[in-house]
Amino acid sequence: MEQLQDKSLVKQSSYIDGQWQQGNGAIDIINPANDDCIAQVANAGIEQAEQAIAAAKQAFPAWAKKSAGERAQLMRKWFDLMMSHQQDLGRILTLEQGKPLAEAKGEIAYGASFIEWFAEEGKRIYGDVIPSPAADKRIMVLKQPIGVVAAITPWNFPNAMIARKAAAALAAGCTFVVRPATQTPLSALAMAELADRAGIPAGVFNVVVGDDAKGIGKVLTQHPDVAKFTFTGSTQTGKALIEQCATTVKKVSMELGGNAPFIVFDDADIDAAVQGAIASKYRNAGQTCVCTNRIFVQQSVVEEFTAKYVEQVGKLKVGNGLDEGVDIGPLITQEALSGVTKLVEDSVAQGAKVVLGGRTLDMGKNFYAPTVMTGVKNTMPIAESEIFGPVSPIISFTDENEVIAMANDTDVGLAAYFYSRDIGRIWRVAEGLEYGMVGINEGLISNAAAPFGGVKQSGNGREGSKYGLDDYLEIKYLCLGGLDK
Ligand code: SIN
């Protein structure tokens, strides 16, 4: 923290109605790389969550009334401030979350890109005029902001997952209350500080930091003044939150768990597939919902792929994200580390083989070695669970239909990837995969212009892109009658 250029970006309490509010007691924020307490943040509770909703409700009419251009100007300032503080924001993010600094700075640019993109897209929220079935009537459609939006966001992207939701909400004319993950509130509070400096009016963007996840979650999902609720996190938690939202019939969008297949066909460029798989698997130490979870390789190229993959994965440097040249940081908690360890051990007990890594590293409490496993079956724990760690299970297959069936044999459907140079196969497989997003000869697919989201139990709604605004808008039908003379 001492090395920050702008230390006033480190805030230690919730941001509600344009004010830094106190709470009851404090939460220690722990650096997962070395267990140091890097800050303490006031612990807000139900009362502060209610205050934030009241502030957002009060701020809504004036924010909604602004023109899209006026909102865009303020959001553009917010974007500019985030980019001009990218170094500090990245450092704060690494300190609380663990990812390497270069990746953290990449996340700041990624988060900011949603603010820039939606600020512009807000100007294109078009209505409609529909040909009327009656000569004396006209049918028109307006799109209006839904109202107060509440969000709960995860620790794996402490900046970008807030930005992706808040940017769409604010551009649409909604006001916003977010509860960031308890482990990583500093990035959220730094965003609030910059929103304040950008001139975003009080009450439009609120951050409630508190460790009473259930209590605050209930307020955000059940309060009658919240019109829409959005969540990024596990499928299990998402289901419970959807149920809570049902009490007031809120509009809901959910970005939940995944189990991404990465398929390498025998006609693929194997070197490109190796690079794509590494990028997709080891980003954020494997802790993203779109990380490759199962690598399927066609029998005839499995040996070549595995040899090249193991060689490249073996070069990845693990360490404290602030150290030079580190590719992979710690996992977020010891609990996360135990979960990954257990998945590997249980799968080895069922016949899988560890060909690289497969152990914790003695450099802090939360480090796991980049791992590659072979002889994996699609039914083993490492293939059936969302790993959220730096482990690559390799499963071999013989033909296209078999691998599509194996890839789809899961309750979730967020991202999938495959490598092939056969155009017929590319279309067949892209259409056959039951996933919301498919990377074809590409391992990194996320960007502000593209619709991010899943099918099946991976959630509903889309974030980013022109579709990302829909979740924050209501369609209003106007019927203008009596036009006959
Ligand atoms: C996530 O893991 O939920 C988000 C990943 C991304 O935006 O690429």
Query: pLDDT digit of tens for each residue in the chain (485 aa)?
Result: 889 999 999 999 999 999 999 888 999 999 999 999 999 999 999 999 999 999 999 999 999 999 999 999 999 999 999 999 999 999 999 999 999 999 999 999 999 999 999 999 999 999 999 999 999 999 999 999 999 999 999 999 999 999 999 999 999 999 999 999 999 999 999 999 999 999 999 999 999 999 999 999 999 999 999 999 999 999 999 999 999 999 999 999 999 999 999 999 999 999 999 999 999 999 999 999 999 999 999 999 999 999 999 999 999 999 999 999 999 999 999 999 999 999 999 999 999 999 999 999 999 999 999 999 999 999 999 999 999 999 999 999 999 999 999 999 999 999 999 999 999 999 999 999 999 999 999 999 999 999 999 999 999 999 999 999 999 999 999 999 999 87
The DSSP symbol for 318 reads B
Residue 13 near residue 209 (C-beta atoms within 8 A): yes
Distance 90 CA to ligand 1 centre (A): 17
Is residue 382 within 8 A of residue 358, CB to CB? The reply is: no
Candidates 289, 291, 386, 463; catalytic one: 289
Mutate to test the pocket of ligand 1, among 110, 157, 437 (most ligand atoms within 8 A of CB): 157
Between the CA of 309 and the centroid of ligand 1 the distance, in Å, is 23
Q: Measuring CA to CA, which residue among 231, 186, 211 is closest to residue 458?
A: 231
The protein residue whose alpha carbon is closest to atom 7 in ligand 1 is 446
Of 255, 289, 435, 458, best ligand 1 pocket probe by most atoms within 8 Å of the beta carbon: 289
Q: Is 245 part of the annotated catalytic residue set?
A: no
* Cβ neighbours of residue 1 closer than 8 Å, sequence gap 6 or more: 7, 10, 38, 39, 92, 95
What residue owns the CA closest to ligand 1's atom 6? 446
Say if CB 55 and CB 169 are below 8 A apart: no
Task: Respond yes or no: is residue 303 known to be catalytic.
Answer: no
Instruction: Name the residue with the closest Cα to ligand 1, atom 3.
Output: 289
Question: Which regions of 100-212 does DSSP assign to beta strands (E)?
Answer: 128-130, 138-145, 148-152, 175-179, 205-207
Q: Where are the alpha helices (DSSP H) in 350-463?
A: 381-384, 400-408, 423-432
290 Cβ inside 6 Å of ligand 1: yes
